[in-house]
Amino acid sequence: MRRILIILAILAVCLPDFAQTKKTVVLTKTTKTTKSNSKTKQTASKPTATKTVKTVATKNTAQAKNKPTEKKEEKPASVQATTNCGYLCNPPLPYLPPKLDILFIGNSFAIDTSTALPEILNCMGLTNINVYVLYKGGCSMKEHYNYYKNSDKVYEFYQYNIRGETKLESATSINNVMSRYPYDIVVFQQYSLESGDYTSYEPYLSKLIQAFNINKISPRTTFAFNQTWAYSSKHKNISKYKTPMNMYNKICESVKKMKAASGIDVIIPCGTAVQNARANSSLVTDNEFTRDNQHIDLYMGRYLLACTFFEAIIAPCTGRNLRDDYTVYGKPGVSTQVNNSNRRLLQNCARLAVANNFEVSEFIIE
């Protein structure tokens, strides 16, 4: 009896704890089941979302396939040539060099362009600049090329600097002159009568550049081109171009083609400067700024060309302003003398030509 009472007492104490434990187990199972159901629900919803994305992607892909291909806009040949820099990658003009040596491979028009330069250099005190002119009268680029191949000593060689004009040699070859000095800049130009015919430029210009590059002693050289001017209306050969203005336009067309094909982007626009001066009623000469219907007037004309050369080549290298020049050039009393009455107008004609190489400016009328 005593044993039975002891067992009953133990059961009375343990039964409530057992019931609580069983309840906890049941709740835990329920919670796990709920979580499992939620996870199953979420997993079930994913395929639907994935399917939607795939559908959209497929739709966009189909639209892209059906969309017509856009045709790229083709640039004109002249623009493409300019973008491709031609056959020459021309280095920029040197800036503030300790010394500036310039070679001009030309003819009488190169002499006309350079003669008045010493006056400007002297007025500005530019002692470190030398312009060398290789001269053969009426010489075209084809002839320069042939003289190079044969090493012909047919040239006169001049130097222009602050001391004036100096004749260095009476008979030399282009081969010899190319390797004479470490030129920073080399200027080419075409024979004036052929300047408006681009077919006369090549392949001679490119061959002359190659010839210079294998003879030069300078580490770097910038190439430039002198745009010549149109003859006067009285010239015996003007019939080839009909009028001076038409000759000027043909020269501009040829130089533009040369620039695009070669990559020579430094232009000395003497032709445009002369047309600017001819259009200014305050600048009058006897023969449309020429002394013989072809070569430039000795004073106003040559000063105008020197200003154009200075503005296009020397000013960017030296940082000097053409307006600082106060040259009086020419014989006293001569109507074409450069002085305070016309100097600024001539400078403006040159500066406007450099600002716009191929168009007569509307601002030259004063």
- Evaluate whether residue 250 is within a structural domain: yes
- Structure tokens that stand for 219 in this block: 């580490």
Please indicate, yes or no, if residue 12 is contained in any of the structural domains.
no
pLDDT greater than 80 at residue 117: yes
Strands 155-161 and 129-135, by their bridges, are antiparallel
Give the residue-averaged pLDDT of 292-306. 98
Q: How many domains does the chain have?
A: 1
Strands 222-226 and 100-106 come out as: unpaired
Residue 354 lies in a domain: yes
Quick check: is 76 in a domain? no
What is the extent of the structural domain holding 301?
Answer: 98-359
Q: Convert the pLDDT of each residue in 131-167 to its tens digit.
A: 999 999 999 999 999 999 999 999 999 999 999 999 9
Query: What's residue 364's pLDDT?
Result: 78
Asked whether residue 2 is assigned to any structural domain, the reply reads no
Question: Is residue 192 in some structural domain?
Answer: yes
What are the pLDDT digits (tens) for 119-135?
Answer: 999 999 999 999 999 99
In the predicted model, is pLDDT for residue 51 greater than 50?
A: no
Helices within the chain (DSSP H only): 2-66, 77-83, 108-114, 117-124, 141-150, 174-178, 204-215, 244-262, 270-278, 300-309, 315-318, 343-355
Residue 102 to residues 140, 259, 314, 339, 358, Cα–Cα distance (Å): 20, 20, 10, 28, 24
Looking at residue 130, which CATH number applies to its domain? 3.40.50.1110
In this prediction, residue 366 carries a pLDDT of 54
Instruction: Flag whether the pTM goes above 0.85.
Output: no
For residue 283, tell me if it sits in a domain: yes
Residue 71 belongs to some domain of the structure: no
Per-residue pLDDT of 233-284, as tens digits, reads: 999 999 999 999 999 999 999 999 999 999 999 999 999 999 999 999 999 8
